Copies of this chain bind each other. A is one copy, B any other.
């Protein structure tokens, strides 16, 4: 595989890299020029900052998130989720769920996830995860000798009945005291593209709360919203198979509010966000919102890890946000991803066999492809190896499942990314992959 990766003809539909062509090169140049034109703004950008992150960026982040959550409520899609079209602000919102004092700036949201896990969990503890989930998060858990239990994922978030079953089973086994959190990638999930509805967030937060007494401590909801801002807009978040060409009409906005708007969020919701994917992955800046006492613990950990993310990056992003350039760039990037996703979709319809289920993404970077149950697309499968031989690479779905003693890992799935590859390479890659699938299924 290592040898294949260095082959010049290889088309990788595996990497979670972002689109090269829409990287804000000229925009960043302009912002950095402004920033470093005068010593008054330039020096603070080149000096150490604070461990929590620069105040202006934390404030802008708070405002940005609050705006995103507010606008979600006025969108038509929200009705699709069985929520009232209008509503009054919750007490929690008014009490400052988005306060800069609850925000920490990190080296990508990955570092935030690592530090939060470090703060919450002792060796042997359990984190509940979506089944399947973000595989680097599984790697964090494994590296810290933590256990993961999977909760079945549906197109609109985890299966609540299954979550309850998992919690009940852990309680019965006397393991509930080891359960510290439920980790969800709530928007255009990596790897499936699924988005969790607010109704589900509300229900699962309530469910976790019910088990806290037996657990003897808080069970936090970690909401990883890394792909949140990469919504295409105007696209349906519905499964399709190449056989069905008639899709249901698209919803206008498929990004519901975060769990931060829910009652009790201030005490239980840990929110992980990032500017890397929406703006530029080379500017690795993520952030998180944390309830006390986890905030203080994570801040202490950040102090030991690196005592603060590079100020130059923070000042660049603060300037991008404040100037409106961030939003303008994002609009371009989203259009670009929507276009590439459409290219991939058409190519799949043309080249993939009919007996395949595809979870179409309405944002983010990935399509989730499910082959017939008995077919393996795993690392050692004939399909993966043949695809590699034919110079096309995908992420085997099995890598996205936790080592969970309660079920066998499915091996019939693939994560296919339209993030990094050009439209041309997407077409060529899917054609190659389709040929392999037609031959081997």
Contacts and interface: CB of A to CB of B under 8 A. Distances in A.
Contact of A139 (B111, B143, B303): B303
Interface string A295-333: 000001101111111111101000000000000000000
A42 interface: yes
A46 interface: yes
A88 interface: no
A264 interface: no
B136 A46 contact: no
A26 interface: yes
Contact of A111 (B46, B48, B300, B306): B306
A32 interface: yes
Given A25-B43, A26-B36, A47-B282, A143 B310 contact: no
Given A107-B310, A300-B143, A305-B305, A36 B46 contact: no
A49 interface: yes
A306 B284 CA distance: 9
Interface of A: 17-18, 20, 23-26, 28-29, 32-33, 36-37, 39, 42-49, 107-108, 110-111, 114, 136, 139-140, 143, 280-285, 300-301, 303-313, 315
B111 A305 contact: yes
B306 A47 contact: no
Nearest to A30: B36
Given A139-B304, A307-B136, A312-B283, A25 B47 contact: no
Contacts of A140: 304
A25 B48 contact: no
Contact of A309 (B45, B107, B315): B107
A18 B48 contact: yes
Given A26-B36, A26-B42, A284-B309, 5 more contacts: A25-B39, A44-B282, A110-B306, A282-B310, A312-B313
Contacts of A313: 310, 312-313
A23 B20 CA distance: 32
Contacts of A44: 282
